[in-house]
Chain A
Amino acid sequence: MRLTSVLSVPFAMVGRRTLDIATEMGGMTLMAGAILRRLFPPRVDGAELMRNLYNVGVKSFPIILVTGVFVGAIMVIQAGLYVEKYEATGFIGWGAGFATLREVSPIMIALMFNGRVGAKNTAEIGTMKVTEQVDALRTLAIDPVSYLIMPRFIAMVVMMTLLVVVGDATALIGGAFTSQFLLGVDVQLFFRSFVDLIHLEDFLLGVYKAITFGIAVGVVSCHFGITVTGGAVGVGRAVNDSVVASAIWIFVLNYVVTTLII
């Protein structure tokens, strides 16, 4: 009896985890469905949308700038090691730019966006939920999805795309400066190799990724926000779950988009 109960522990754990994951996946699908239904025809509160575009986009701007500069610097340092080894300074702009535009910049910007916007979104919707503000909306015959979630979702998708473009640009500028001052490679040379060897599709791949990341962060953070229970502790836990789920989606979608488009 005892032995069997000990043996069943790992199975119980796996089972519970699977059920949890299935529940969350189902919740996210429902959320995506609810959002999709309200997109055709679009049912969005205009003023709310503008306010959210501002909150999501403009307020994340400084963090994205800092992240972009860091990413550019890191990539140039890493590329610099190889460039020096093979004495191919002419390729530094390509080496750093290629990886930045296609992979690193979208992922890093998305992770920061997830932390800044996704987490905040879950926290805000979650706080409204635990303080019964969402129920109050319902009793006023206002659809919480149209009023609360749609503007946030649209703002996140739009701004994620634009912020990745901004992040790409700052990463390149940061990279160019790093290569000038740390590696002693001229900025002109950096950008010449970049312009010669980078194609539009490298940049577009990053943008496509950004759109899917925006959708993922939007759906996930709204889902975890609207399903919060259990007061302040519950809000903290939901934010934690939300950023983790979004991060997994970001990496999985990164893989999917990369293989689909190439």
Chain B
Amino acid sequence: MSAHPPHKPNVLELFLAALGSPFVIVGEQFREIFKVFGLTVQYALHGRRRWKEVWLQAYRIGNESLVFIVCVAGSLGVTLVYQAGLQAERIIGDLTPLGGLYLQILLREFGPTITALMISTRVGTGIAAEIGSMVVTEQVDALQMSGAHPVEYLVVPRFWASVVMVFCLTCVSVLVSWLAGLLTALLAFGVSPYTFATLSFVIPGDVILLLMKTTAYGIAIPIVAGASGLSAHGGSEGVGWATTQSVVNCSLAVLFLDVLLSGFGYLVLLR
């Protein structure tokens, strides 16, 4: 291992290394995420149940992100309805289907996905920062020495809490966006709330798709964030790296699952 003289790479080798290294890095992260995923499922099904901790984490997720999500959902609702209303006025000249279609697209797409992206930002970074700081201050090692597995002790409660809370927060977010849209339609275009508030466009497939999306996001966020946190190393730089990694990976995971599930919905559910 030690006797080799240092080898100076030539241009071709450097090029190939530069070409391959992103794949190596991405592959390593995938492996880490799936390892944590496997362990989480295993411990979630067979490990100790710590419902008190789950409750605490659920409270923290809700408490941390409620105001944030209300702000985002509100401003998003206003903007979307305003833009859609202008287009509808210009092209169709009829604003009656606005409310129903808006609710439908909210349930199918913007409600769950934007909420999940916000939770990735708020909760995902929080989980990664917390677990990452525990790794670099040796608390995770101490946990293992105490006989607890870090995934079981740290990720599993957050996993259960997130599965439930992503759904709850999505409901809140849909409601707030819809109300904001309703007010916008009323104030900007004079659409009566009675016309706006209609369920006529919503089909059962929309609700099933919403449930599938929120569950998938709820599972993905704590696992991806936990994997980022657990792979932190070094001092405060390591924590920063883990947090950054977590936002990006969680958001990409959400978008990827969204493409997958929307495609599934298009092909199967919403015909």
Q: Are A119 and B80 in contact (CB under 8 A)?
A: no
Residues of the A chain whose Cβ atoms lie less than 8 Å from the Cβ of B82: 258-259, 262
Choice from B109, B237, B266 contacting A80 with Cβ under 8 Å: B266
Choice from B68, B136, B262 contacting A232 with Cβ under 8 Å: B136
Residues of the B chain whose Cβ atoms lie less than 8 Å from the Cβ of A259: 79, 82
Shortest A29–chain B CB gap in Å is 19
Number of B residues, CB within 8 Å of A: 56
Shortest B78–chain A CB gap in Å is 6
Q: Are B129 and A239 in contact (CB under 8 A)?
A: yes
Residues of the B chain whose Cβ atoms lie less than 8 Å from the Cβ of A80: 266
Shortest A177–chain B CB gap in Å is 12
Q: Does A254 contact B (CB under 8 A)?
A: yes
Choice from B126, B133, B241, B251 contacting A111 with Cβ under 8 Å: B251
Q: Are A74 and B259 in contact (CB under 8 A)?
A: yes
Q: Does B168 contact A (CB under 8 A)?
A: no
Residues of the B chain whose Cβ atoms lie less than 8 Å from the Cβ of A156: none
Q: Are A108 and B255 in contact (CB under 8 A)?
A: yes
Q: Are A243 and B247 in contact (CB under 8 A)?
A: yes
State A110–B2 Cα separation when bound (angstroms).
47
Interface of A is mostly: helix
Q: Are B243 and A123 in contact (CB under 8 A)?
A: yes
Q: Does B20 contact A (CB under 8 A)?
A: no
Residues of the A chain whose Cβ atoms lie less than 8 Å from the Cβ of B164: none
Residues of the A chain whose Cβ atoms lie less than 8 Å from the Cβ of B266: 77, 80-81, 182
Q: Are A102 and B83 also in contact (CB < 8 A) when A111-B251, A233-B133, A248-B72 are?
A: yes
Q: Are A115 and B244 also in contact (CB < 8 A) when A71-B255, A232-B238, A255-B78 are?
A: yes
Q: Are B75 and A251 in contact (CB under 8 A)?
A: yes
Q: Are B236 and A119 in contact (CB under 8 A)?
A: no
Q: Does A137 contact B (CB under 8 A)?
A: no
Q: Does B58 contact A (CB under 8 A)?
A: no
Number of A residues, CB within 8 Å of B: 52
Q: For chain B, residues 225 to 246, give those with C-beta under 8 angstroms from any C-beta of chain A.
A: 235-244
Q: Are A248 and B71 also in contact (CB < 8 A) when A78-B108, A115-B248, A235-B239 are?
A: yes
Choice from A70, A247, A255 contacting B258 with Cβ under 8 Å: A70
Choice from B86, B126, B137, B255 contacting A70 with Cβ under 8 Å: B255
Residues of the B chain whose Cβ atoms lie less than 8 Å from the Cβ of A62: 22
**Chain A proximity mask over B112-145: 1 for CB below 8 Å, otherwise 0:** 0100011011100110111011001100000000
Q: Does A98 contact B (CB under 8 A)?
A: yes
> Can you list 13 A-B contacts (CB < 8 A)?
A77-B259, A98-B87, A103-B83, A112-B252, A114-B121, A126-B236, A236-B125, A236-B130, A236-B243, A239-B243, A247-B118, A252-B71, A262-B83
Interface residues of A (CB under 8 A from B): 62-63, 66-67, 70-71, 73-74, 77-78, 80-82, 98, 102-103, 108, 111-112, 114-116, 119-120, 122-124, 126-127, 130-131, 182, 231-237, 239-240, 243-244, 247-248, 251-252, 254-255, 258-259, 262
Given A232-B235, A258-B79, 17 new contacts (CB under 8 A): A70-B258, A74-B255, A98-B87, A115-B121, A119-B243, A123-B240, A123-B243, A126-B236, A235-B239, A235-B240, A236-B243, A239-B244, A243-B122, A247-B121, A252-B75, A258-B83, A262-B82
